[in-house]
Amino acid sequence: MQTLTIIQPDDMHLHLRDGEALKAVLPFTARQMGRAVIMPNLKPPVVSVADALAYKQRILAALPEGSTFEPLMTLYLTDKSTPELVREAKAAGIVAFKLYPAGATTNSDSGVTDLFKLIPVLEEMAAQNILFLVHGEVTDPEIDIFDREAVFIERVMKPVLEKVPGLKVVFEHITTADAARLVMEAGDNVAASVTPQHLLLNRNDLLVGGVRPHHYCLPVLKRESHRKVLVAAVTGEKSHKFFLGTDSAPHAQSAKENACGCAGMFSAATAIELYAEIFENAGALNKLEAFASKNGARFYGLPENPRTITLVKRPQQVAPKVPFGNGDALVPMRGGESVSWTVEY
């Protein structure tokens, strides 16, 4: 039976929510990831150092006994963020600020309305070597939802990189050939996280045969041609600039299966197994370890995890749903179906 042992991976883009939801989903990540970069879009958002440190303590308190998992905390960038806040965040061990353009995704109502007014804040991030995590979409209603990422690159990303050339940027959950090209052509200060859904699925998986709400995420799934370019990017010559970031975003089944438009896919239950399937299908299993366990750590200036995990080429059935606290259920990515790899815990 085929086995693959790799350095324990990190999830460089993770939503854990809070309260009972946090307790329900955290164990899935903690059992296979050494660390995770925790997104700050709670209600209310994590906008101060005190908010982030309190949230970190709630995460640590919810960990299974004996877990060595480490949450890496971020702050939610707002129109009121200041250079002083950047310095305070750096001193407290906060690893990054996250840009949510106002209205772009779940809990983004407090997001930035004009990034160019925050150039002094970005310059201080560059000076402090604190990362800038970018949800790269414009939100103008006249822009087609499938074009929002490409337009953001031209209107926002390229000008910002020119204005603050020393800024260390992670283009989060990229979905298009345009974004992959930008990252590959940019300097070593620009990298990208890539989700399992954007490497496995295209917009047909969302829309053909009826809308599949559990495949609805933002940025939305794109054309098959874009998916193929993303797979080529994470396995190709510039693959060191891309790393694992699930964007695992849990929403209750009752919330996904109604008109609320909850955007997010919960992939944490079998995250590394899904990525193994992607890399195997691309004939690039030998590059999985770098993508999952090395590239992100290096870009964040972190040591590689001291432990390893072992994957076995043995299909496993993904549970159709898992408990989500307060009587709710959560439908995992590939729920009720199988993945072709299994982690030996």
Backbone angles phi, psi at 10, to 5 degrees: -125, 145
- The pairing of strands 308-312 and 3-7 is antiparallel
Structure-block tokens of residue 90: 């750096």
Please tell me whether 41 is known to bind a ligand.
Answer: yes
Say if CB 114 and CB 159 are below 8 A apart. no
Please tell me whether 240 is known to bind a ligand.
Answer: no
List of residues 6+ apart from 210 with CB closer than 8 A = none
Catalytic residue among 51, 147, 247, 328: 247
What's the CA dihedral at 285, 291, 293, 296 to 10 degrees?
A: 180
- The pairing of strands 308-312 and 342-344 is antiparallel
Kindly tell me the burial class for residue 2, based on how many C-beta atoms sit within 10 Å of its own C-beta (0-12, 13-18, 19 or more).
exposed
Please tell me whether 247 is known to bind a ligand.
Answer: yes
Say if CB 148 and CB 137 are below 8 A apart. yes
CB-side neighbour CA atoms (13 Å) of 136: 32
Say if CB 223 and CB 202 are below 8 A apart. yes
Structure-block tokens of residue 258: 């109604």
SS3 267: coil
Please tell me whether 13 is known to bind a ligand.
Answer: yes
Please tell me whether 286 is known to bind a ligand.
Answer: no
Q: How far apart are the first and last CA of the chain?
A: 16
List of residues 6+ apart from 310 with CB closer than 8 A = 3, 4, 5, 343, 344
Please tell me whether 263 is known to bind a ligand.
Answer: yes
Please tell me whether 198 is known to bind a ligand.
Answer: no
247 catalytic, yes or no? yes
Which residues are 101's β-sheet partners? 112
**Which residues line the annotated binding site?**
13, 15-17, 41, 98, 135, 173, 218, 247, 251, 263
Q: Which residues are annotated as a binding site for Zn(2+)?
A: 13, 15, 98, 135, 173, 247
Annotated binding site for substrate: 15-17, 41, 135, 218, 251, 263
Q: Which residues are marked as active site?
A: 247
